[in-house]
Structure 1
């Protein structure tokens, strides 16, 4: 994971550069080039959670369920830090997989119960599940942990909005 020394370019190859190129091609509508970029990265052992996760999203968009499942297995087998788990959860939410998103966020909270963003993400999941009381408790926990004033204001606004919808 991370950076790899590249003998071809006499420098350091970063999987995130491949990931960015793949994302740019995907957003431009050039899905085949995006797939080729992601696959080239993996073929050369330039892998990261972000790269594999975005490649998996592309495979789903292309309808290549076999590739998506293969990439999912790769993601499962990689040890993840809390922020990587958060990225995976957000990607899962984008594809509507609430169960998997929930699992990733809960794993991240076990590893780093002091990160406010994790509780905010879990609150989003609970809100989608219609669990208003849990959503409120999770927002309160995020507020308790957050040190960034700007984020704190956003969390408080979400909590106020939630309490007004009751």
Structure 2
């Protein structure tokens, strides 16, 4: 499943490689106060309830199945999972973020779409849920000056609470994880909540509108996303991008400065702000942002970005060391091997290039990535 994240020129993310439950320690003004309401027209947006609504015939069908499962002694969370297994047997992966009803009618959607659909059934059955955000190393796709990458979202249907003995406590509540397209080359990002899920829906739709240059629609959807997660760095990031795309560079800078001053940053936000700093030849800001980027790496993707910046500066030994560290920590993801292959290809080392391309293909569970790595290896070996 793909939870869309944007990267503008360098890196821009909408939803999620930073902490999902980011919130400031002290009370600060929300970023919406810096957004130029006079420059955009606020348009009507879909309601939260409408996102999760199911048609009556589907509700009846689900509840009939669900109640029959319970009569046979099946645990509630497992009963929902069984229904999903049957219902989604011919479901087609698609990158679009859809409502629950749209996913059913079209029999397709991305991970947010399917998390929404799962939540809709869980709400009908009154089953509690939590969510897990999992990073997957991206396959880049260019859209003008914007790059799309992918992230993964899992739902956990929680088992009923058990009656505990006095002084007893629960460390981890039992449940069933719904993972529609599990990938071996993934890594844990953070736990998430229902509020995060709703925010991600609106954020993803805001991105779609932004890419289509429907700036008023993007602004309206982004404001809805910020109602659920007002201090999320990735939403602040997209607010700056929206203003920049709309020609309001001064306001974009103000939004980025707000993020820095209140420590509401992510690697993606910092990377995108760095692009502006370089465009403006602000050497002091460039140095500051590069320092923050180097000192605030958390995910394997962050570390690979750090290695890429080292390569851009010709610091090959530093880049090799960083990529080898990623391999040591997460040997099952293919991207560090691919980055090493590219580095050695730049240096003219054919044998190591082929070696690391083969390793990247071996480690990839994504057919698209594996085909890419194999094609690049074959093009070198056949010369």
TM tier relative to shorter chain: 0.7 to 0.9
> Which residue of structure 2 lines up, in the alignment, with residue 130 of structure 1?
348
Taking a change above 3 Å as real, the CA distance of residues 20 and 64 of structure 1, as seen in their structure-2 partners, is same
Q: For residues 332 and 319 of structure 2, what CA distance do their matches in structure 1 show?
A: 19
Q: How many equivalent residue pairs?
A: 163
Contact conserved, 1:123 with 1:139, CA < 8 A, in 2? yes
Q: For residues 160 and 127 of structure 1, what CA distance do their matches in structure 2 show?
A: 14
The 5 Å alignment of 1:104-123 reads 104-123=322-341
C-alpha RMSD of the superposition? 2.7
The 5 Å alignment of 1:1-166 reads 2=19, 3-5=21-23, 7=27, 8=29, 11-12=228-229, 13-26=231-244, 30-90=248-308, 92=309, 96-99=312-315, 101-165=319-383
> How far has the Cα of 1:42 moved from its partner?
1.4
Q: Secondary structure at the match of 1:127?
A: helix
Gaps of 5+ in 1: none
Taking a change above 3 Å as real, the CA distance of residues 66 and 86 of structure 1, as seen in their structure-2 partners, is same
From the two aligned structures, give the one with the greater helix fraction. 1
Give the structure with higher Rg (CA): 2
- Cα deviations across residues 96-115 of structure 1 (Å, max 9, x unaligned)? 32426545433322321221
Q: Secondary structure at the match of 2:258?
A: helix
Taking a change above 3 Å as real, the CA distance of residues 79 and 164 of structure 1, as seen in their structure-2 partners, is same
> How far has the Cα of 1:79 moved from its partner?
4.2
From the two aligned structures, give the one with the greater strand fraction. 2
Contact conserved, 1:5 with 1:11, CA < 8 A, in 2? no
Q: For residues 125 and 79 of structure 1, what CA distance do their matches in structure 2 show?
A: 21
> How far has the Cα of 1:51 moved from its partner?
1.1
Contact conserved, 1:49 with 1:84, CA < 8 A, in 2? yes
- Cα deviations across residues 30-87 of structure 1 (Å, max 9, x unaligned)? 5433322211111222111111122223212221111111112222222422122123
Contact conserved, 2:267 with 2:297, CA < 8 A, in 1? no
Q: For residues 326 and 228 of structure 2, what CA distance do their matches in structure 1 show?
A: 33
Contact conserved, 1:82 with 1:112, CA < 8 A, in 2? yes
Q: For residues 113 and 35 of structure 1, what CA distance do their matches in structure 2 show?
A: 38
Length-normalised TM-score, structure 1: 0.80
Contact conserved, 1:25 with 1:34, CA < 8 A, in 2? yes
> How far has the Cα of 1:11 moved from its partner?
4.8
Gaps of 5+ in 2: 1-17, 31-226
Taking a change above 3 Å as real, the CA distance of residues 61 and 133 of structure 1, as seen in their structure-2 partners, is farther
Contact conserved, 1:119 with 1:139, CA < 8 A, in 2? yes
Q: For residues 354 and 245 of structure 2, what CA distance do their matches in structure 1 show?
A: 35
> How far has the Cα of 1:140 moved from its partner?
0.8
